[in-house]
Chains A and B, each alone.
Chain A
Amino acid sequence: MFTILGIPSQALFGQLLLGLINGSFYALLSLGLAIIFGLLNVINFAHGAQYMMGAFLTWMLLSYFGIGYWWALLLVPILVGIFGLLLERLLISRLHHLDHLYGLLLTFGLALIIQGAFRIQYGVSGLPYGIPVTLAGGQNLGFMFLPNYRLWVILLSLSVCLATWLLIEKTKLGAYLRAATENPTLVQAFGINVPRLITLTYGGGVALAALAGVMAAPIYSVNPNMGADMIITVFAVVVIGGMGSIAGSIVTGFALGLIEGLTKLLYPEASSTVIFIIMAIVLLLKPAGLFGRRV
């Protein structure tokens, strides 16, 4: 056993691994946020609320219909995604021609409504949701006990992030998407239905948030405030990565998980503030974020 910065290496490895796991939530959430911002130019403040809806829907499926975790993993993103499509069609699409301030305010209002509604219906103490039986237990890694479920979280998150990145960078649909981000009018002129593309993108981003919610349900308290506590941090992740940059948001999400994990060990009081310090520094040195193009 050796020590780094006065901390036994074992503890350090454990903390970094945990940080990486938290990072997978940041990565998933900021990925959705970045996709939405990239194409819609809307800062989706309702992202946290949609993440919370994902967790709640997981709980509802189990308690009202007896549908377990694995089906929830598939169904919940679809259901919440459809909810996202409706929001986009009915409300957000009407603001496309305006400054993105309005999109932010609209989604902020929506977040308040969604959170309030869940609060009235389910209270705030949170609801119990167990870890799926197949993933119970854990591995003894020598330096720490790693629950199987956490291992699953990190693997699933990594694969989803990778798949999304491939979809956007390597497929035709992704090419349309990137083109529409650059110049929607031109893409429209080529006969591609840009408004529909936008709607689908929003739905997709929301579905990612809901997926993160399903993954969170067994380990975090399922309560109406769970998203509101998270949203500002996830914003910061997107900004540091470079607004609208897909790869940037994924990498930054994981990296910030690590940094946060380290802070929790060295100076835990600052662990929720460290991200803002990094954001300020990054923005001052590299205005478009780490992976963003120049603005």
Chain B
Amino acid sequence: MKGYTRTFVILALLLAIGPYILYPIFLMKVLCFALFACAFNLLLGYGGLLSFGHAAYFGMASYVCAHAAKIWGWPPELCLLLGTSAAGLLGLVFGALAIRRQGIYFAMITLALAQMIYFFALQATFTGGEDGIQSVPRGNLFGVINLASDLTLYYVVAAIFLAGFLAIFRMIHSPFGQVLKAIRDNEPRMVSLGYRTSQYKLLVFVLSAVLAGLAGATKVVVFQLASLTDVHWMMSGEVILIVLVGGMGTILGPVVGAFIIVAMENYLAPLGAWVTVIQGLVFVVCVMLFRQGIVGLFERSLARLKKSPR
């Protein structure tokens, strides 16, 4: 536990000084994706469930949040709450259906359900088709904190991220998390020990959807925009890649992965068509050479260093 406390302090410090070093909006984008990836990692890395449709929860939350803020004029905290709950509800329904299947079939059901959400987003009138819901007001948090300033908003987003991150950390290290890991590693054994594994799986699915929704809703407040990109299957693919690059099943992996992928998208944008080629190369290199992801690799070499007698 002690090692983790140090990690948190460093992380909080980095978050605090971040906007003075890097462009705050870029950092907020990183944090939104980091939270999304952490939520996904909870499901994949600790629950062993590969969802290919996580964009549905991310996107649904962003549409609901944007609609509440723009059309109903709700304050941001309520919009975030509503968006997150919508994602959770969706996760409950979809999760209940999907957890009845395993492995690649689980992935395909989640994909199919997410495609239906995409279709819904395309057809429903309130989502604005491919224009999305634009110029969503940022509003005043709790009626007092004006979020128009990027710096203020940054600290709010950082707080949301940290809360989500700590929540996931608590879950993983709770008895619930232990059962989850055991199910991931050997489900029949846990069934024989008397655990109702499907309940655990459903719970982690819903929790993951809720946090993914929180990330999606937060993104709306930052970019004042909800669009089809958020519900497209490429978004589901992207979050898998983030987690893979960073390191599946590690606490910090998704955060590092999000930073790298978002930085690539941002700073390689002037290269135009080369971006996809470079991204492709990064994924190939990751899969071929460091499969545990960057954080996984780092942790392993650290462990080896500790073991080796000096």
Contacts and interface: CB of A to CB of B under 8 A. Distances in A.
A280 B281 contact: no
B112 interface: yes
A279 B108 contact: yes
Interface in B56-101: 97, 100-101
Contacts of A280: 97, 109, 112-113, 116
B104 A113 contact: no
A283 B112 CA distance: 10
A84 to B, nearest CB: 16
B198 interface: no
Contact of B112 (A106, A120, A236): A236
B40 to A, nearest CB: 13
B300 to A, nearest CB: 16
B287 A102 contact: yes
Contacts of A114: 280
Nearest to A282: B112
A91 interface: yes
Give the dominant DSSP class at B's interface.
helix
Contacts of B273: 116, 119-120
A105 B109 contact: no
Interface in B255-297: 273-277, 279-284, 286-288, 291
B77 to A, nearest CB: 35
B105 A239 contact: yes
Given A102-B291, A115-B276, A109 B283 contact: yes
A109 B280 contact: yes
A173 interface: no
Contacts of A277: 112, 116
A145 interface: no
Nearest to B100: A284
Contacts of A91: 284, 288
B105 A295 contact: yes
A100 interface: yes
Contacts, number: 108
Most buried by B among A101, A106, A115: A101
Interface residues of A, number: 39
B146 interface: no
Nearest to A103: B287
A94 interface: yes
B279 A112 contact: yes
Interface stretch (A10-18, A136-144, A210-218, A268-276): A268-276
A98 interface: yes
Contacts of A115: 276
Contact of A239 (B102, B108, B123, B275): B108
A113 to B, nearest CB: 4
A73 interface: no
A112 B276 contact: yes
Interface in B109-126: 109, 111-113, 115-116, 118-119, 123
Interface in A72-113: 91, 94-95, 98, 100-102, 105-106, 108-113
Contact of A283 (B101, B123, B276): B101
7 contacts: A105-B241, A105-B286, A105-B287, A117-B277, A273-B115, A283-B109, A295-B102
